[in-house]
Structure 1
Amino acid sequence: MATPKWRQLADDLAEQIRNGDLATGEALPQIRELTASGAGSTTTVQAAYRALETEGLVRIVRGRGTYVRQQRTRIVRESQARYQWEKDRALLSEEERRSTGVTEKETGLDTPHLAFQATYDAVEAPPEIATRFGVEPGTQMLRRSYRTSSRSETAPIGLISSWLVYSVAARNPALLDSGREPWPGGTAHQLRTVGIEIGQIEDRIGARPPTAYETKVLDLLPGTAVLVLNKSSYSADDDRLVEYSEAVLPGDRHEFLYRIPLDRWPS
């Protein structure tokens, strides 16, 4: 089957964007210019531009034109390998743990090229969180909010909220200090400092339209969904929930990769 003309045009422009022939912020030709040059009908050019916007390569500004969008860092998240890698690093020396982290590993960016922001506060457990942890509503919790971004971009990679039982985190006062973020070795090492080994992690992933706040903060184009990752970490000793987090991730820059070995059939 022949490739539609709008797709050919979109692919040609996408290649120009990716190789730098069309720079960030540069305006794409007006639709009438492309139609006059024989690139296709108005409908063809409009379809190509809409496809480029859906793919996150351009931004269409009504009444002004179509502009090359700054390319966003792409993240491939391989959860099974990621969590084992984090757990193994919890046993390393501080110097080794400081050398790199999971965000650097997944984005391919060095630590100096990343901007980290963490906010901690002590709050009473809302009913949903209390139910998850099996504690009484109102139990004091440590709520941690994270944003990480490339220093070349304004929008964060995602919005993350993490919960720990406050009395558990308080066993190591350093865990109550957001100024120590990014913590070398991440949550796996933080929990190790209070005698907890993570034995199992459960991920639940869904998708939904973003809120107005998420659209603004994550710099989402119209029609872009967010992925919502609910992560529950359980203790290896007694299988109790020790950390719960929710990550809101832009659907245009996150990909989940799973490699699942299957048992052989009996011979």
Structure 2
Amino acid sequence: MTEGKTPKWLQLANELEQEIRNGDRPPGSLLPQIRELVDTKGWAYDTVRNAYRALEDKGLIVSRKGQGTYVSSILEKIHRDATSRYSKVAREAAGSRGAFDTEIRNLGMTPKSVSQVYRAQPPQKVAEILGVSRRGKSTAVRERTMYADDTVVQVATSYFPGDVAFGSALEQEDTGPGGSISRLAELGYQQTSMTEHLEIRQPGKDEASALGIPADRPVVEITHIGRTADGRAVEVCLHVVPANLWHFSYSWSVDQPE
């Protein structure tokens, strides 16, 4: 390739991206199949495939097995500001059921969560963090599939110690304004410190199916741990999100000048 020359796949990707952002290809519209562009435009198969993959990496299009490739309804990445998202103001803004609701509303989209609430034996790492038994159903679990409009953008599973959560509002499908963190505070377990561990990995089969993404699409797993003032862990939440749909930011103070 001549130095400075734009590869053909990138030319096509840029052309399609411009059409998407101009509204010529609106959210939800079906893109031509790769073979169709090969036949009608004379593009090489790999050129079209690489262009589509680049647009998928940006989150601008989504492939649905057996259905085709569509323009995404999420043209701007979801901003997850871990520094401020857990504040009471952010969690309860306009009646939101937690930080996720607020993030999606800020995009002008409608948040929705489909929840399953049950009691279960936790995974080993969760049991160790919460300090609960691995034997029997020692935790209350909130398992959620989370949408922005009609697009699944996250699956999240929260675990709470049984002595804190059993019989409480945490076992209700709708935890009310502010979500589980607000309900924990009302129970006397206000979270005053939080830790998050991020891991980029390939999704499991069930995760890929739930998120509606290809098995080779990377996800970010966030292990969120909430602790009370005395250091007790009262929540572990495992968030799994498609890496191409989210933007993460963190800020903190360092040594201040004397």
**Secondary structure of 2:236's match?**
strand
- Aligned-residue offset at 1:218: 0.6
Quote the residue 1:225 is aligned against: 218
- Per-residue CA deviation, residues 9-53 of structure 1 (Å, 9 max, x unaligned), is 211111112322124343435223223xxxx66654443234234
Local SS of the residue matching 1:33: helix
Q: How many residues align?
A: 249
- 2:81 corresponds to: 78
Match of 2:172 in 1: 177
Instruction: Assess if the C-alpha contact under 8 Å between 1:58 and 1:66 holds in 2.
Output: no
Gaps of 5+ in 1: none
Amino acid at match of 1:157: V
Q: Distance in 1 between matches of 2:68 and 2:180?
A: 42
Once residues 241 and 213 of structure 2 are traced to their aligned partners in structure 1, the CA distance between those partners, rounded to angstroms, is 11
Query: 1:239-254 residue pairs with structure 2 within 5 A?
Result: 239-254=231-246
**Structure 1 vs Structure 2: percent identity of aligned residues?**
24
- Per the TM alignment, residue 189 of structure 1 is displaced from its structure 2 partner at its CA by 1.0
Give the 3 Å change call, closer, same or farther, for CA 143–45 of structure 1 in structure 2. closer
Which residues in structure 2 correspond to 1:120-159 (within 5 Å)?
Answer: 120-138=117-135, 140-151=138-149, 153=150, 155-159=151-155
Q: Which has the larger radius of gyration?
A: 1
C-alpha distance after superposition, 1:141-188 (max 9, x if no partner): 11111122133x2x4221111111112124x6333222xx15211222
On the 8 A contact 2:211/2:242 being kept in 1, the answer is yes
The corresponding residue for 2:40 is 33
Amino acid at match of 1:103: F
Where does structure 2 lack aligned partners over 5 or more consecutive residues?
none
> How far did residue 263 of structure 1 move?
3.6
SS of the residue corresponding to residue 132 of structure 2 reads coil
TM-score by length of 2: 0.81
| Structure 1 counterpart SS, 2:189 | coil
Q: 1:231 to 1:45 in 2, by over 3 A?
A: closer
TM-fit CA distance, 1:99: 5.7
For 1:186 and 1:54, locate their aligned partners in 2 and report how far apart those are by CA, in whole Å.
31
Aligned to 2:193: 200
C-alpha spacing 1:141/1:102, structure 2 compared with 1 (3 Å):
same
What amino acid sits opposite 2:81 in the alignment? E
Q: Which moved more, 1:112-121 or 1:221-230?
A: 112-121
Counterparts of residues 9-48 of structure 1 (less than 5 Å):
9-23=12-26, 24-28=28-32, 30-35=37-42, 44-48=47-51
Shift of the 15–211 alpha-carbon distance from structure 1 to 2, 3 Å rule, reads same
Whether the aligned pair in 1 keeps the contact of 2:98 and 2:180 (CA below 8 Å) is no
| Cα RMSD for the two superposed structures | 3.2
CA contact (8 A) 1:34 1:45 kept: no
Q: What are the equivalent positions in structure 2 for 1:47-66 lying under 5 Å apart?
A: 47-58=50-61
- Determine the structure 1 residue equivalent to 2:116: 119
